């Protein structure tokens, strides 16, 4: 029994490393250490953890390893829903499989609904149910908003003062200037030293 278990585990590790080269390296990498449920162990309930899991016994309930790989051995029987990053099935599974990356179906028997991003099915595998392939989630990058360009301050333009239109009386005075009074005429004449000012007022 122990020899068969060791052979199954060695086959899983070797084939997993070989397939990793053909599948652009699985997200969880090659499995070197993992928890094991032996062939003589029967678990009924929820199984969860934060490490890789190898099942060689029987499990009924649910299996939850969202960030790691779950491997179903050849002699194992699982009646549970499986949630894992990667799933390798070599035995019998009755339940839904939700795989975050790669589902590797080898010489196995699966009955249930499958949701995964990638799937590989070997010859001789039996599958009854539905398969849904989901696209990888694209990383959304927030585009920084463009900085607001400061606008030039708007200055209020004051309208130019309206030109004053001279009145009719002012216009008449400009056309016909009046002669100064005799007193003003004498003072101007003294200022200009006797120069004739008659011409300026004619």
Q: What is the pLDDT of residue 20?
A: 43
Distance CA 69, CA 131 (A): 19
CA 85 to chain centre: 22
Please, how many CA atoms are within 13 Å of residue 144, restricted to the half-sphere of its CB?
Answer: 3
Q: Phi/psi class of residue 5: alpha, beta or left (left: φ > 0; alpha: ψ in -120 to 50)?
A: alpha
Query: Which portions of the chain are predicted below pLDDT 50?
Result: 13, 16-26, 139-143, 197, 200-202
Q: What is the pLDDT of residue 131?
A: 93
Contact yes or no for 85/68 (Cβ under 8 A)? yes
The pTM of this model reads 0.56
Q: Which residue, among 112, 60, 107, 105, has the nearest Cα to 86 in the 3D structure?
A: 105
What ranges make up the beta strands (E) of 25-175? 35-37, 42-48, 53-55, 58-72, 77-89, 92-94, 97-105, 109-111, 114-116, 118-121, 126-128, 131-133
**Residue 187, helix vs strand vs coil:** helix
Q: What is the pLDDT of residue 25?
A: 43
Contact yes or no for 83/64 (Cβ under 8 A)? yes
Distance CA 197, CA 188 (A): 8
Helix (H) or strand (E) holding 4: helix 2-22
Q: What is the pLDDT of residue 23?
A: 46
Helix (H) or strand (E) holding 69: strand 58-72
Q: What is the pLDDT of residue 129?
A: 92
- Widest CA span of the chain, in angstroms? 150
Q: What is the pLDDT of residue 34?
A: 86
Contact yes or no for 104/87 (Cβ under 8 A)? yes
């Amino acid at each position: 029994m122990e020899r068969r278990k060791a052979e199954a585990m060695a086959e899983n590790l070797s084939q997993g490393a070989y397939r990793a080269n053909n599948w652009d390296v699985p997200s969880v990498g090659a499995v070197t250490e993992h928890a094991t449920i032996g062939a003589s162990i029967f678990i009924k309930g929820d199984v969860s953890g934060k490490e890789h899991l190898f099942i060689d016994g029987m499990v009924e309930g649910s299996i939850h390893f969202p960030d790691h790989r779950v491997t179903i051995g050849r002699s194992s029987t699982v009646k549970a829903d499986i949630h894992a990053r990667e799933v390798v099935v070599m035995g019998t599974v009755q339940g839904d499989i939700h795989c975050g990356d790669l589902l590797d179906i080898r010489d196995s028997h699966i009955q249930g609904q499958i949701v995964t991003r990638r799937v590989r099915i070997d010859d001789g595998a039996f599958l009854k149910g539905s398969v849904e392939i989901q696209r990888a989630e694209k990383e959304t990058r927030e585009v920084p908003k463009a900085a607001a360009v400061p606008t030039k301050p708007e200055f209020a333009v004051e309208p130019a003062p309206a030109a004053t239109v001279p009145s009719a009386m002012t216009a008449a005075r400009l056309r016909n200037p009046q002669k100064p009074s005799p007193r003003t005429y004498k003072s101007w004449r003294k200022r200009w030293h006797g120069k004739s000012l008659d011409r300026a007022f004619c």
